[in-house]
Amino acid sequence: MKNRSRRRFAAAVIGVSAGGLNALSRILPLLHRHLALSVLVVQHLRPDSDSYLVHHLARLSTIRVKEAEDKEAVEPGTVYIAPPDYHLLVESDRSLSLSAEERVNFSRPSIDVTFETAAEAFQDQLIGIVLTGANNDGSRGLARIKYFGGMTVVQSPESAEYDIMPRSAIDAVDVDRIVPLDGIAGLLNTLAPGEIDGEGSHTAGR
């Protein structure tokens, strides 16, 4: 574990379901504007959801927040939110693609779909994070991230509004870190500090 914090990470994927608006509203505003990571967020949404989530999080945050687009190349210092009713995939060249294929774990977007494709694209340069939720989406994808050597992080069930998804991930994967909600942003800032922002001031561990 000591050497993992010195690794050069390229991206983080965050999976969240029930309770996600509150959780993301407490994480994204604390991320450094020049964070040296691309951050992909999969939040379970109704198919007819509007763009409130993206606009709300963008208003709160200094880091760039936008809806993910098909064929888009990811950049550090940017948070990409999966759009409603589309799976968000990461291609081998690390660009994004959107898919309207069938639901996975009763969800589209599915956390597992994004986690699994990101794991293959970024391998040991990826951080996978499972947050609050009321199903088991994300557990299989987090295991895939672990398989490829990425870092696996789960919100502590005690700090989750809905603890089913974090507990499922912990049961399925020998996770690297279990972190309270208020420690997630500090962990990311520390693992991948931006050139201008410098080192993150908060750490969190298991």
β-strand pairing of 78-81 with 96-99: unpaired
Is residue 42 within a helix (H) or strand (E), and if so which, with residue range?
A: strand 38-43
- Of 21, 19, 97, nearest in space to 54 by CA: 21
CA 148/CA 151 separation, integer angstroms: 9
Catalytic residue among 112, 137, 176, 197: 137
Radius of gyration, CA atoms only, the chain? 15
Which of 17, 38, 61, 156 does the annotation list as catalytic?
17
Which residue is catalytic, options 44, 61, 107, 168? 44
Residue 44 appears among annotated catalytic residues: yes
What dihedral angle (degrees, nearest 10) is formed by the CA atoms of 176, 63, 45, 116? -40
What is the rounded CA–CA span in Å between residue 116 and residue 112? 6
> What is the DSSP code (8-state) at residue 133?
B
Q: Which amino acid is at 63?
A: I
Residues in contact with 160: Cβ distance below 8 Å, sequence separation at least 6, in sequence order: 19, 23, 131, 132, 133, 166, 181
Residue 55 has which token pair? 């606009």
Q: In the chain, helix, strand, coil percent, each to 5?
A: 35, 25, 45
Residue 87 among the catalytic residues: no
Catalytic residues: 17, 44, 137
